[in-house]
Chains A and B, each alone.
Chain A
Amino acid sequence: MSEQALAPVSSGNSPKFSGGPATSGASKTRSSKWIANQRKLAPWLFLAPGVVMFLVYVIAPIGQSLWISLYEWDGIGVKTFIGIANYIELIDDEAFYTALYNNVLWLVLYMLAVPAGLLIAIFLNQTVTGIRIYKSLFFFPFVISQIVVGLIFSWFYAPNFGLFTKLLEFMGVEGIAILADERFVTYGIIVAGLWPQIAYCMILYLTGLNNVSPDQIEAARLDGAKGWKMLWYVIIPQLRPATFIAVVVTIIGALRSFDLVSIMTSGGPYGSSRVLSYYMYEQALSEYGFRMGYGASIAVVLFAIMMVFITLFIVRMLKDEREGY
């Protein structure tokens, strides 16, 4: 049975089989059609599992979110169509603007991870005994879970017993409860987020530095370049692919900064450290939420913002591919 079942499949791969005795006239034309088109079809067949997954788990939910955002729905009761009322409410919602502002803050400040990562990578890119240990230690924050990072920093900032408070007191400044102060809370969380993100950028640059061509450095040195000039005109241009990836992962990291906000402050005090992703979760899924439609409309806005970056990323990638990077 298995041999018969396998036959049509193997026929595609072995041309000599097409003339074999087991093939009837009808399947002969079919298999010759298959042979004629297999170069065209094969990529699609190979892509099919991925495409199906992508459709089911990415495209369909995006469509559903758009759809739900037009409804008023608590997740269990009756759905009521309300058109774009959720979006109109969003325009008039102070909490939404706070979250949006914080998202921008995240995007801008998170970018510090890229130069900081580069700096550490250059610093670590030397041959000293035990440098691998140092590299691993610097990479360590990226290995531990974001939740753990959040907890560590919560204790670090904790009023009364936190290391940060003690440090301030040691310097003669009165301790500030970073996570309870609307002025500092978002910065406090971003710093916590930067810690692993810098490590990530560092590792990207470390691999990038391995590929820097020694000939060019040699040539530049002969031409008298050193220090900043060497870095700016010779090293950094060669690190372009690494920089590109570092920027992209950092942007995406900033936009999905959900876990740290959730674990460190739950969006507080009184909502001043919320970001869009957290606000969406709060409205749609948290203990007091269950406004699926409103949550979905926030998700759509966040998606629109991400789309800008994703488009830039893809355009850039296509361009690079055509130019043969």
Chain B
Amino acid sequence: MFNFSKVAASGFAAAFMISSSAYAAGDLIINLDQTDPAPKKAFEDIVAGFSKENPDVNVIVNTMHKEGYKTSIRNFLTADAPDLATWYAGNRMAPFVNAGLFEDVSDVWEENGLNEQLKSAAASMTIDGKKWGVPYTYYQWGIYYRKDIFEEKGIAVPTSWDELVAASAKLKAAGIDPFTIGTKALWPTGGWFDYMNLRVNGYEFHMDLTAGKVPYTDPRVKATFDKWAELVKPGYYNANHAALDWQEAVPALVQGKAAMYLMGNFAVDVFKNGGLKEEQIGFMQFPEITPGIPMAEDAPTDTIHIPANAKNKEDAKKFLAYMARADVQTATNVTLGQLPVNSGAERPEERILQQGFDMLSNAYALAQFYDRDAPAAMAKAGMEGFQEFMVKPERADAILDRLEKIRTRVYK
């Protein structure tokens, strides 16, 4: 009984601390959306490193579940802002920037030479000519495939669209689903649309489309869908993908029932946990479709921001500068298994990451991801349309008409 009351008391104390604004001057509160083991470890290391260099700052970290964080951030930014909060680059941060909830950190970029070091991500952190946060990691998207199955079936790694379709036909004939995907949560479809559109129409067109400058009924969008149909109509995706989450689509790849998976690099960890050996996993760049179009890639960037209502902005800016540093980003991304944004950071040692690093270094341009480049309402409707297309490709025209109707409403 005594123990219980003690626990309860400390619980109350904790609750009080979180809700009260009576922090000591040297406290720095960080809200994190990373609960997975690797990212959690990475942040623990960052905090430990920062505390060592700034012993007078007491860092307090609140960790939240990723999905819950996406809704709770709207509350805590307005009601009880931390000093730092993780979020995403591109259009995804626009609502908070426009509502005046994120702090302009252009000075941090200026003073620490970040305009040079973080150049590759500068565009996605800029709104109205100002920088609104600091990117600390990004990762490549591409096609992960089963090396051993490709070898067994005598398939060379496709470098063009025709080769990819031919390889798919061959796999399908052998009773293997060429691609596995789980579209229940919708966003995996965004990766497919991004790559189809980037390869068919190029980066500029894709950016214009996600910025709402081009109608969805444009013949070029239709061309993207027509190309995509070459994979959808013959059934080169696993059946019932609309019932699966992306993790639930992984076993097919592990069991050899499917041979390829278009995903972000975070999936490699899941493949390995599922039982795939390092040498079984191959990575390839999404092949060229329209010849001559420079290859742009999806590389979603994770970022950290200072809320406008933060109490300890001085230390928060120190922390941003620390997280942007080359050596810190190198260490962080080794733990994360992702790529550092800082150009001075070291090249990763892991094979697939190296491939991704080289691919992104040579990329013509980087897109964030459909649901980060397009505003939320458009992204939701768009990805729902892509999912419908992947189930009912014959409805392409009706889907595009619907998306166009939504586009005219969303971008007023």
Residues of A within 8 A of B379 (CB): 288
Q: Does B177 contact A (CB under 8 A)?
A: no
For the complex, would chain A's binding face be called helix, strand, loop or mixed by DSSP majority?
loop
Contact with B along A233-275 (1 / 0, CB 8 A): 0000000000000000000000000000000011011110000
Q: Does A75 contact B (CB under 8 A)?
A: yes
Residues of B within 8 A of A269 (CB): 183-184, 242-243, 387-388, 391
Residues of A within 8 A of B174 (CB): none
Residues of B within 8 A of A310 (CB): none
Q: Is the CB of A74 within 8 A of B409?
A: no
Complex alpha-carbon distance, A276 and B384, angstroms: 17
Q: Does B96 contact A (CB under 8 A)?
A: yes
> Whole-angstrom distance from the CB of A106 to the nearest CB of chain B?
21
Residues of B within 8 A of A75 (CB): 74
Q: Count B interface residues, CB 8 Å.
A: 34
- B 97-135 contacts with A by CB, 8 A: 98-99, 101
Complex alpha-carbon distance, A35 and B288, angstroms: 91
Residues of B within 8 A of A157 (CB): 243
> Whole-angstrom distance from the CB of A150 to the nearest CB of chain B?
14
Q: Is the CB of A266 within 8 A of B185?
A: yes
Contact with B along A177-189 (1 / 0, CB 8 A): 1011010000000
Counting chain B CB atoms within 10 Å of each CB, the highest count among A182, A285, A288 belongs to A288
Q: Is the CB of A76 within 8 A of B242?
A: no
Q: Is the CB of A266 within 8 A of B184?
A: yes
Q: Is the CB of B78 within 8 A of A76?
A: yes
Residues of A within 8 A of B183 (CB): 269
Residues of B within 8 A of A266 (CB): 184-185
Contacts A76-B96, A77-B99, A94-B402; is A285 near B409 (CB within 8 Å)? no
Q: Is the CB of A177 within 8 A of B243?
A: yes
Complex alpha-carbon distance, A77 and B99, angstroms: 5
> Whole-angstrom distance from the CB of A272 to the nearest CB of chain B?
9
Closest 7 CB pairs of A and B: A288-B380, A180-B243, A177-B240, A180-B242, A269-B242, A270-B388, A159-B240
Sample 21 A-B pairs with CB under 8 A, ordered by A number: A74-B99, A76-B74, A76-B99, A76-B101, A157-B243, A159-B240, A159-B244, A177-B242, A179-B243, A180-B242, A180-B244, A268-B186, A268-B387, A269-B183, A269-B242, A270-B385, A282-B380, A287-B70, A288-B380, A290-B95, A290-B376
